[in-house]
Amino acid sequence: MSICTDSFVPAASAMAKLYGFPAYEFATMPHPLASLDQEQIDSCARELMPQLLRILGVEP
């Protein structure tokens, strides 16, 4: 499972295509990440969970 910020979707997609997985699905989150504090990171993680569970195929 790969998570990237939305700014990196073009580069991540190019790498996936390069490796022969053009439809590889990333979980994405808003940019930026590096400057967030702990509370903001925790919030991002919570917001990401539905995406992660969907891509992993976890049934509701």
| Using rule CB under 8 A, residue 45 touches other proteins | no
Three-class SS string for the chain?
CCEEEHHHHHHHHHHHHHCCCCCCCCEEECCCCCCCCHHHHHHHHHHHHHHHHHHHCCCC
| Using rule CB under 8 A, residue 18 touches other proteins | yes
The minimum distance between CB 60 and other proteins, in angstroms, equals 33
| Using rule CB under 8 A, residue 39 touches other proteins | no
Residues lying near other proteins in the complex (CB under 8 A) are found at: 8, 10-11, 14-15, 18-19, 38
